[in-house]
Structures are given as C-alpha cells and as structure tokens.
Structure 1
Amino acid sequence: MHFDLADLRIFVHVAEARSLTAGASRAHLSTAAVSGRIKTLEQQLDSRLFYRSAQGVELTPAGERLLRHARLILRQVERVKSDFSAYADGASGHLRIFANTTAVIEFMPEVLAEFLATRPGVTVDLQERMTSDIIRGVLDGTADMGILGIMVGMEVPPRLRSLPFSRDRLVLATPWEHPLATREAVTFEDALDFPHVGLHEGSTLFHFLQVKALELGLPLPVRIQVFGFESACRMIEAGVGVGIIPESCALRYQASMKLQVRHLGDAWAYRERTLLIRDEGVLPGCAQELLDTILSGEMGPLGAPPASLS
C-alpha cells in the first residue's frame, strides 16, 4: 500500500474544514482535483472516508482512524525536516576531511578552531593521508573534502573539482653554519649529499621526498624522523641534519630559531594549496560553509603568498 504525503495533507485539510471546497482552498487546489485525490485515497484504503451532504462532509469511522494516523505521520515528517534543516544551514553536521601533512600540522588546527567556535553542533574528523589516498577518498565519498598541495604538472581526476586557495613552496632549512647556507642556488639533489631530518613514515611530505629522491636514482639520507615541523626545525637547528619543509612554517620558526632557509630550484617545489571536492552532488551545509570560509581568505595569511626570504 502506497501513501502519498500530499494526499494525506489534502485529507487532513478537508477533514478539519469539514468541506471539500474549504479544504481545496487550504491546499491551493481546485475542488474537483481535491475530490479526485480523496477518491483515489479511498480506493487505496478500500474504505469510505467521508459522508458527503449538502452541508459539507463528515468523517466516517475509517476516516476518523486515518485522521489520527495522518496527523502523526505529518507531524513526524515536520520533525525530520526540522532536525535536518540544521544540517542544511550548517548549524549541525559531521565533516570528514582528508589532508596532507602541511594542512594537518600547520594551518587547519587554527582554521578549524575558529570555524568550530561559532558552530557547536558541528564535529570534524581530520585525517592525515597520502595524496593518492586523499584523491581516492574524495572520489569514493569516504571524505567530504580533501586538502593537498598541487605540484606543477599534477592532474586531478575529471570527476573532482580542485579549488586553489593559497600558494606555498618547499624550501631547504639548514643549521646556521652549513655548506649549503652560503649558496645562492640550491636544488634537492644538492641536499641529498647531507643527512636529512624527516617527518614520520606516514606523512605525505616524507613519502613525496622519497619518490623524488628515487627519481634521481639516489636514496633519501634520513638520519632522524620526527612528528611535526617544529620538532624537525629544532633538530635542524641543533645540527642533526637539513630538512625540506614548507616555506610558511620555515619563516615562522626561523624567527625564534637559528636556521638558514634557502629556496629550492626544483620546479616541483612550488605548490598550490588546494581544496578537493566531488564535481557532482551537494556538500553538507557545514562543509560548504567551511569551504567558502577558506576560499574567501577570511582566515588571514592562508590567502596570501608566502613572504620572500631574506
């Protein structure tokens, strides 16, 4: 048995008005249309719902029973709409975001702290993933959005939409007294002659640098691996090795640590910080709000290119 919600609403209008004409007016339909819908409903239920007379209509026992059910059903539908309207307008909801190391460690904590402060009904699952996993997760719907660095020549699958929101690049950080610190031009290959301070095994940046070293036919000479760019910079400052890190965090830690920072001459060192979403479908309200907030540049330095190195 199939119930049409529109038919139930029409039935309730007629029952409460005790008139087909008045019920039709409430439903913004013609009297003939309403009469036809009531007859269809009676046929589906195999029950007479109204006694008709010149004075109007009166509910039959079957009609009385249906009116109780119809009111409960329509009330529940309104509750469902009310509950989900909060999700639609971004006031509530749950987001799953797959992001690269830089996003997870460097700027998303501040972005999310500010975003969530005014949205107590929103929860977020932020997971650090490899670039390939970020793309796959957004493609198959495991993640609502992805955040990664798009390198020169990197292509995004056609079913995804990439939305750049700021620029960054990878640089070489060295101890204050280091042979590479005096050079005007430095490449990643030059840096492979020295021990490296790297991030943990599961980080996207560590994996990316391993691949680039292999492309040169050289190993990545890792001396120590740490969690986070601040720990990496402290190790570099102490003379443990050199490190490849994003320029934005290199400049920040250089202000309080004795580090030398040099641009890399490699084309892949330049990156577009990019939001990745599915090309089809609609984002949850809270996800769309976060996306709009990041793209608008309201989070301050995210929207601007990094400052030049001295």
Structure 2
Amino acid sequence: MNIHREEDAMAQQDRERLVELKNVVVEFESSGGTFRALDEVDLSIWRGDHLAVVGESGSGKTTLGRVLVGLQPFRGEFASEIGGARSALTPARTSRQRRQRVPGDISIQMVFQSSESSLDPRWTAVAAVAEATARGKRPSAAQRAEAERYLTLVGIPPHRHRAKASELSGGQRQRVAIARALALKPDLLICDEATSALDVATRASIITLLTELKHDLGVTLCVITHDFTTARALSDTCIVMKSGRIVEQGATAQIISNPQAEYSQQLLAAVPRLQVTGPRPADEPLMSALDRTILTGQKSD
C-alpha cells in the first residue's frame, strides 16, 4: 500500500480519535462462495477531519460506511476515544447479529444516496426531523422547534417545513435528510454518495451546503464517493479503496496532484474531459477546471 505521510503526529495527540478500525473484515456468502467486501481494513478518523472514501462500485466503500454507522456486522476491532476514555467493540463473527452498535458514547449518523428510501413520503419535513430526535416517542414542542431550526439551517424555507417528503424536490429531500442527521448532533457525519443522484445544479448546492456546515458547525465529515471532484470539494484527507482494501491514503490535494497507487491513477484518468468551445485558461489545472464544470455547470475543455 502506498501512503502519503503528511500528518503531524504531535498535533494528533491533542485531538480525539473518533474512529479506529483494525483488521476489519466483512464477508458475504453467495452461491458462488465467500465474497470479502472489506479485507483487513485499518483506518483512523480524528475529530475535525474531513475524510473522503473514494472508489468505484464494488470497492467496499459503502460497506465501510455501514460498519462505521453500526449497520454491518464485521470481524476485527472498532474503537473510539471520547473525553480521554477509550472504548472498543469486537463483535461476534456471525452476520446473524443485526443490531450492531458503535463503541462508547460516539454518535455517528449517515446521509444515504437515496432520500426517497430514507424518508417516509407521508411525513412532513419537520416531522421527519423531530421524530429522529424523539427516538420513537411523540416529539415535544421543543423538539419540533429544534427540527424547524435545523431545516432552516440547511436551506429549507419555513413555508416548506410542513410539506410532505413526496411533495419536495430531490434536493430538498436530501437537505431534510441532512437536517435529520445533524439534529442528532453527531460526532461524525457520513455522506454516502449523497449528491450522486442529483442534477448538476442541485449537486453543487448540496456540496456548498456541506462545505458551510463543516466549517460553521465543526462537523467531522466522512464523504463516500466515486468522484474525486466531490472528494476535493469536501475533504482534506482521502483514502482510495479497491476490492475491499485501502490502496492509498493521504492529503486529498496531494493524491489528486500526485497519485502513487496505479489504481488511483486509473480513477483520475477516467475523469471525463469535456469537448466544448472556448479554451481552458493555460494556467488552470485540469482538476480545477473539472471542479468548476461539475460544481457550477460552467464548461471548460
């Protein structure tokens, strides 16, 4: 495995390690035999990190996200350090244990790719957010007020707070999903391809929103994506996954500008190059031009 070693070890000592995975393995049984979705993965996420997990379909990145949020049984060790106390979870090996938990007092929430499947279409936006904080009970007036605050924070106008999920656009539903996750005050927010199903303009607005939230709220962010431009917009550090393994990790900008793993080079080479009129400025790097194209809709060659 090729690794960019840019982290300052002394600086890390002053931060909390929210996630420490060691030798994590996830396997699925099928008619063709055993498929290893995660293959002895080691990973640390520190409070304040903005991490991207990049890879093509089948690389294991979504399975990794499901392990982090407590939805996927696994073998190995999952530990966290909150407030100076370390707690570890070493789950059973069988996939029969469906109610996995994350260690200690850490709170991890996930925003999924499809807001249609994660939101009840019959519920209003405010009900969807308030219900999450009420944890199965009837939301109080204070919880509903807090839900409205988070909806406003993510850009849902007050006159849409009582619209049903089925009446909202795809971008608005994704904002509601983000508000619901934030209302639970997570230590770590995971976004699993949260913008990939959206049109270019809506995708740009959600990326802008997440950028603002990570700075304004201090949210530690883990972005799961197949797209290096999204990774560059939202992350400082990056891991590249292939066939359930981490093949490269380091600063996002450094991996994009100087990828060491052959697979990372292949992913970057696969980024489409648009054929349009008007030259790209000579001093503008290709990835910068692609960022501008995808995030704003402005085209460049």
The structure with more radius of gyration: 1
TM-score (norm 1): 0.22
TM-score (norm 2): 0.23
